[in-house]
Amino acid sequence: MSNVYAGFEADRAAVATINFCSVWPTVKPILQQLASVVKNPLVKIAIRTVIGAGDAYCGATKAVANPASERLMKLGLQGLDYLSDDQITALEGMSDADLSTLVQCQKAIDGNNLTSDEVGGCLF
């Protein structure tokens, strides 16, 4: 998992070199409006993906402050700032036992430097 974060940080540095984040506050609302008017679902997904990437690279991470999210952090889950609101909500609905299993999987991936291909195409 740490190799995924290292790649993310390298990408974030590359985005900073072209001053992308200086225009992101202007670009994001335009993309959000565009996503609300287009009908093609694939185009909507593409636009929302760009919005998610822009938020991630330009520091629009969520503050994990509510009690349920604190529970996730106390159990040892990592990378919560990189998840969407829907993903965090799904995790918050999981039992402690299921979350503990997920934490064990994260630790196994981190310890072995596994790639997404080696864990069935899924990253946590």
Q: Is residue 18 part of a domain?
A: yes
- How many domains, the chain? 2
Q: What is the per-residue pLDDT for 75?
A: 81
Last residue of one domain, picked from the residues 12, 34, 60: 60
Residue 25 structural domain: 1-60
51 and 3 inside one domain: yes
In a domain, 75, yes or no: yes
Quickly tell me which residue has 């979350």 as its tokens: 99
Longest alpha-carbon distance in the chain? 45
Mean pLDDT of the chain: 75
Query: Given this model, what pLDDT does residue 124 score?
Result: 43
* Cβ count near 77 (within 10 Å): 21
Helices marked H in the chain — which ranges?
Answer: 2-17, 20-37, 41-57, 67-74, 85-92, 96-112
pLDDT score at 37: 92
Q: For the chain (length 124 residues), average pLDDT per consecutive 10?
A: 63 75 86 90 89 77 54 78 76 86 79 59 48
Hey, what are 94's tokens?
């999981």
Q: Indicate whether 37 belongs to any domain.
A: yes
37 & 70 share domain:
no
Residues 53 and 68 both lie in one domain: no
Do 13 and 32 reside in the same domain of the chain? yes
